[in-house]
Amino acid sequence: MGNRVAIIGVGMSKFGELWEKNLREITLEAGMMAIFDSQISGKDIDAICVGNMSAGRFTGQEHLGALAADVGGLGNLPAYSVEAACASGGAAVRQAYMSIKSGEHDAMLVFGCEKMSDVNQTEAMNTISVASDWEWEGLFGATFPALFGMMARRHMMEYGTTEEQLSLVTVKNHANAAHNPFAQFQRPVPLKVVMGSGLLADPIRILHSSPVTDGAAALVMCNEDVAKKYSDTPIYIDASTQGSDTLALHDRESITEMKAVKISARQALEKAKLSINDIDVFELHDSFTISEIMLTEDVGIVEKGQGGKAVEEGLTELGGKFPVNPSGGLKARGHPVGATGVAQVVEIALQLRGECEKRQVDGAEKGMAVNTGGTGATSIVHILGRD
Amino acid sequence: MVGIIGYGVYIPRYRIKTEEIARVWGEPGEKLAKGLGVFEKSVPGPDEDVATISVEAARNAVKYARIDPKDIGAIYVGSESHPYAVKPTGTIVAEAIECTSEMTCADFEFACKAGTAAIQTCMGLVSSDMIKIGLAIGSDTAQGRPGDALEYSAAAGGVAILVGKGKPVATIETTVSFTTDTPDFWRREGEDFPSHGARFTGEPAYFRHVGAAANLLFRKTGTTVDDWDYFVFHMPNGKFPLAMGRQLKVPNEKLEDSLVVRQIGNTYSGSAMMGLARILDIAEPGSKIFMVSYGSGAGSDAFAITVEDEITKHRGEVPTVDDYIARKTYVEYATYAKYRRKIKALG
Amino acid sequence: MAEKGVAGVWRKIRAIYNIQGNQCKTCGNYYFPPRLVCPTCRRKGQLEIHKFKGLGKIYSFAIVRQAPDHFKRQMPYVIAQVELDEGPRLTAQIVNVDVDKVEIGMRVRACFRKISEQGHEGIIVYGYKFEPTMEVTGHD
């Protein structure tokens, strides 16, 4: 051991439509919470990494690394942002992981943030569409719900997945979010309401889709020595892996699986020397409920095609054998694009620390966060554990 | 001899019934439809315009003629609804049918006869051997001001005719024109909808010009009505061509087959040409076709056409006028207004 | 600076007007949209221009009911992945069809339509959409 990477502090802003706050304010809020949580001294932090997809289009502001250092009063630290569409947050975590693992940095402040509600609907849709292949998908009218609609329709045809199963993911994730004080939708939603909600891109309904959200999440990550100095209960990153796939969905052999997830999840388990049965809690990227169904299969919880059944049979609910998205997931916690990957890791860390109260997975020791970008062109997997 | 070596048409899928338009304006639909001789008209989809219609028709024409589009030396697109005020439709067509860049191209406008003017231009270029093949297109997505009489007939469609030598499917024996300055119908720059002189569009405009051009053609060819198998007159509605036929003593059965206006309305620059295409779809080799177009402003082009044996070798290559007429979906006035940009808030 | 990406549209006119992609002469694979490098052969690849016939069938589809403003006039519209006869799939709208009649496996052909408009004053982008083949001769 010796050069393990630890998470000693976690923080989040409230997720939702934060009309009264701008990007700086929510980012600072999450960062301060993570720093207070870790009790680290500001002078021990030696770099900042920010995950963000498109602040330039959503708010008109880029150069978020310097912005984060500035608003936090962290002066002249090296700071930069990374972008991998909806996986930008995961990319920031992984960037910090590699920087600390290599010995270049000892302790880093990691952010994920996005302020989405300041633009109109057309601009929000167009901005998100550039995470797919804009030139060959978005331009022709393929919105994000349409792309996931095509995956869902194919999944239904190939494996018999039902509209009810797509809807049960929502029911489950909303039930979980009811116990998450940071979630955008802290209320359960009945199956009938989900199945009767408006169509976005058949078969995808509004309540099968993650919302437009403002939010930020932050971590204090450090090497083992720093971790021991500040924390009795550090959470360790057992594995950090990443994979890519074609940018356009139509270039993939199959659109009912995310190959990048399959590969990176398998590699992560190998690196952590774990099997899927060793993982106690999952945060899987449910930008649409069909994504959670597909990822349940692609990480290996169930066989290909059984993801719908898994949610139907309660396998992935709180108290099930493989609890998925106890936080409420992207669907109910909210999906501030660049913040999501960091928020997933925050949730897993809190679960392993046993601090999740009513949504706590009892005795969780190992957790997996899967953050994807676009329609699965990027997959970033983190496995976390506690000693 | 110069002739038509291929032709293709395109009619959008949507239709609105005359009765449906009349319903909105509180007019007696059934009576109006009968009086006008227009029972329904074609409506372009929200993503269709003169460029897309012209391309579809031109692709059909190239396939029908089995030519290499690189042999096309000129493209002229006649329309009163070009998508751009400045920037040719023809270059879009040229690129979409993969022509060579070594050709000439321009857009024409002469109300409803810009397409036949394009045919005449191509005839001149081909017979003088300046080019091998010319592509003449008449295509429109005509607009009628909501509530105006024209709204019942202003329709969308296009016809592409390849003019060349070699083995034409129909020979164009000769052509004559009759042109005056007669402001019966116009649209000023920047205006969304055309205006017209109401009953002035009849006697001094349509009938005078079509009649004069027809008589010129009879005289030039030394023929009478009896020497012709089919007559095609420009069809602003179903009433005018029949009245013209009566004036010229053309038996109804020689005119009937061209009257596509009843099912698709007035396709403006594509109107007379659509009637011609319908005849070319069905006429026996050896048939004689007498066609007169009309464009407000005003002028008429008359053509003497003979169907050749070659035509039987090309039929079935592309959908016919009747195939496109049969492919239809009715829309109600609200959808029509949405598609035709009559809802201002939608931009 | 070219106004609103005019050059960007112009650069790909051949691809989007006529479904012009490429084929790798080393492995024989067809590519549409056109690729800059053959992902199978990479440095050994030899890409040549290939014009696709524009015929295929629907691989999957969605009916779009919420879209950016410039698509509003067309809503609801069908977005599909079309599997071309030559092999590759592309993403396109399906037109000339009732949205409730679309099915996976449906035979479609390319047609020429307006894809988008860069506002009232800007250029019009034309290109491929697909439509069901008519059951008449000459429409496939």
For position C120, what pLDDT does the model report?
84
CB B120 within 8 A of CB B175: yes
Contacts from A58-65 at CB under 8 Å and sequence distance 24+?
A: A58/A114, A58/A115, A58/A116, A58/A118, A58/A119, A58/A124, A58/A127, A59/A22, A59/A23, A59/A115, A59/A118, A61/A23, A64/A27, A64/A111, A64/A113
For position C3, what pLDDT does the model report?
58
The fraction of chain A above a pLDDT of 90, given in percent, is 96
For position A145, what pLDDT does the model report?
97
| Per-domain residue ranges of chain A | 5-119+213-235, 128-211+237-386
Whole-angstrom distance, CA of residue B148 vs CA of residue B17: 15
Alpha helices in B113-207, H assignment, sequence order: 114-127
Is pLDDT at A249 greater than 80 in this prediction? yes
Rg (CA), chain C: 16
Gap from B110 CA to chain C (nearest CA, Å): 24
CATH number at residue C102: 2.40.50
For position B235, what pLDDT does the model report?
98
Burial class (CB in 10 A: 0-12, 13-18, 19+), B223: middle
Look at residues A275, A352, A344 and name the one whose alpha carbon lies nearest to residue A91: A344
Same CATH topology for A5-119+213-235 and A128-211+237-386: the answer is: yes
Write out pLDDT tens, residues B169-192.
999 999 999 999 999 999 999 899
Is pLDDT at B98 greater than 50 in this prediction? yes
Locus of tokens 């009433």: B239
- Residues of A whose CB is below 8 A from C12: 135
Q: Strand pairing of B329-330 and C20-24?
A: unpaired
Which residues does A contribute to its contact with C (CB < 8 Å)? 121-122, 125-126, 133, 135-137, 139-143, 145-154, 157, 198-204, 248-251, 255
**Three-state SS annotation for chain C:** CCHHHHHHHHHCHHHHHHCEEEEECCCCCEECCCCCCCCCCHHHCCEEEEECCCEEEEEEEEEECCCCHHHHHHCCEEEEEEEECCCCEEEEEECCCCHHHCCCCCEEEEEEEEEEECCCCCCEEEEEEEEECCCCCCCC
Look at residues A143, A144, A165, A145 and name the one whose alpha carbon lies nearest to residue A294: A165
Q: Best residue in C113, C116, C131, C135 to probe B by mutation, most B CBs within 10 Å?
A: C113
**Across residues C107-129, what is the average pLDDT?**
94
Whether the bond between A326 and the residue before it is cis, its omega within 30 degrees of 0, is: no
Task: Kindly report the number of other CB atoms within 10 A of residue C97's CB atom.
Answer: 21
Residue B158: which residues within 8 A CB-CB, separation 6 or more? B9, B10, B50, B53, B54, B56, B57, B137, B138, B139, B140, B267, B269, B270
Q: Which chains have 3+ CB pairs within 8 A of B?
A: C
Q: Is B89 within 8 Å of chain C by CB? A: no
Is pLDDT at C61 greater than 50 in this prediction? yes
Write out pLDDT tens, residues A121-178.
888 888 999 999 999 999 999 999 999 999 999 999 999 999 999 999 999 999 999 9
Whole-angstrom distance, CA of residue A338 vs CA of residue A89: 5
Q: Is C91 within 8 Å of chain B by CB? A: no
CB A169 within 8 A of CB A294: no
Task: Kindly report the number of other CB atoms within 10 A of residue B285's CB atom.
Answer: 13
Q: Does the predicted model carry a pTM greater than 0.90?
A: yes
Work out how many domains chain C is built from and give that number. Answer: 1
Look at residues B118, B204, B149 and name the one whose alpha carbon lies nearest to residue B27: B149
Is pLDDT at A16 greater than 80 in this prediction? yes
Average per-residue pLDDT for chain B:
97
- pLDDT bin (cut points 50, 70, 90) of residue C1 is very low
Measured at the CA of A304, the angle between CA A303 and CA A310, to 5 degrees, comes to 60
CATH T-level fold of A128-211+237-386 = Peroxisomal Thiolase; Chain A, domain 1 (3.40.47)
Locus of tokens 């052999």: A253
Is pLDDT at B240 greater than 90 in this prediction? yes
Q: Best residue in C64, C75, C112, C125 to probe A by mutation, most A CBs within 10 Å?
A: C64
Is pLDDT at A3 greater than 90 in this prediction? no
Q: Best residue in C16, C52, C71, C91 to probe A by mutation, most A CBs within 10 Å?
A: C91
Whole-angstrom distance, CA of residue A145 vs CA of residue A202: 9
| CATH architecture entry for A5-119+213-235 | 3-Layer(aba) Sandwich (3.40)
Is pLDDT at B297 greater than 60 in this prediction? yes
Q: Which two tokens stand for residue B243?
A: 């009245």
**Across residues B290-313, what is the average pLDDT?**
98
Residue A177: which residues within 8 A CB-CB, separation 6 or more? A183, A184, A185, A186, A187, A327, A328, A329, A331, A332, A333
Give buried/exposed letters for B84-121 (b at 16+ CB in 10 A, else e).
Answer: eeeebbbbbbbbbbbbeeebebebbbbbbbbbbbbbbb
Rg (CA), chain B: 19
For position A2, what pLDDT does the model report?
66
Task: Give chain B's domains with CATH numbers.
Answer: 3-169+328-346 (3.40.47.10), 170-310 (3.40.47.10)
Identity of the residue numbered A179 = H
Whole-angstrom distance, CA of residue B108 vs CA of residue B269: 10
Look at residues A316, A109, A381 and name the one whose alpha carbon lies nearest to residue A220: A109
Is pLDDT at A8 greater than 90 in this prediction? yes
Q: Which two tokens stand for residue B125?
A: 């270029």
For position C90, what pLDDT does the model report?
98
Task: Let me know if residue C60 belongs to a domain.
Answer: yes
Q: Is C139 within 8 Å of chain B by CB? A: yes
Whole-angstrom distance, CA of residue B138 vs CA of residue B76: 9
**Inter-chain CB proximity C80 and A157 less than 8 Å:** no
For position C137, what pLDDT does the model report?
76
Full domain range(s) for residue C84: 54-140
- pLDDT bin (cut points 50, 70, 90) of residue A1 is very low
**CA dihedral of B219, B221, B223, B225, whole degrees rounded to 10:** -90
Q: Is C72 within 8 Å of chain B by CB? A: yes
Q: Is C137 within 8 Å of chain B by CB? A: yes
Whole-angstrom distance, CA of residue A146 vs CA of residue B107: 39
More confident position, B347 or B38 = B38
Whole-angstrom distance, CA of residue C49 vs CA of residue C15: 10
Rg (CA), chain A: 19
Residue A32: which residues within 8 A CB-CB, separation 6 or more? A11, A72
Q: Is C69 within 8 Å of chain A by CB? A: yes
Q: Is B66 within 8 Å of chain C by CB? A: no
Whole-angstrom distance, CA of residue A277 vs CA of residue A284: 16
* Nearest Cβ partner for C62 among A201, A248, A250: A201
Is pLDDT at B165 greater than 50 in this prediction? yes
**Inter-chain CB proximity C66 and A149 less than 8 Å:** no
Q: What phi and psi values does residue B102 have, to the nearest 5 degrees? A: -85, 70
- pLDDT bin (cut points 50, 70, 90) of residue C4 is low
Q: What phi and psi values does residue C78 have, to the nearest 5 degrees? A: -100, 125
Write out pLDDT tens, residues A276-317.
999 999 999 999 999 999 999 999 999 999 999 999 999 999
Residue C45: which residues within 8 A CB-CB, separation 6 or more? C24, C26, C27, C37, C38
Q: Is B192 within 8 Å of chain C by CB? A: no
Whole-angstrom distance, CA of residue A356 vs CA of residue A327: 9
Locus of tokens 């299969």: A297
Is pLDDT at A32 greater than 70 in this prediction? yes
Task: Let me know if residue C46 belongs to a domain.
Answer: no
Active site includes A174? Answer: no
More confident position, B103 or A126 = B103
Is pLDDT at A209 greater than 90 in this prediction? yes
Write out pLDDT tens, residues B182-220.
999 999 998 999 999 999 999 999 999 999 999 999 999
**Across residues C74-81, what is the average pLDDT?**
97
Q: Which two tokens stand for residue A288?
A: 């649409």
Question: How many B-C residue pairs are in contact by the CB < 8 A criterion?
Answer: 70
**Across residues B40-69, what is the average pLDDT?**
98
3-state secondary structure of B157: strand
Identity of the residue numbered A105 = H
**Across residues B112-140, what is the average pLDDT?**
98
Whole-angstrom distance, CA of residue B228 vs CA of residue B226: 6
Average per-residue pLDDT for chain A:
97
Task: Let me know if residue C45 belongs to a domain.
Answer: no
> Chain C, 4-43: which have a CB under 8 Å from a chain B CB?
13-14, 17-18
DSSP readout, A170-233?
Answer: HHHHHHHHTT-TT-S--S---HHHHHTSPEEEETEEGGGB----BEEEEEEEEEHHHHHHH-SS
Whole-angstrom distance, CA of residue C36 vs CA of residue B266: 47
Q: Given its phi and psi angles, is residue B49 left (phi above 0), alpha (psi -120 to 50 degrees) or beta?
A: beta
CB C73 within 8 A of CB C87: no
Measured at the CA of B218, the angle between CA B216 and CA B224, to 5 degrees, comes to 155
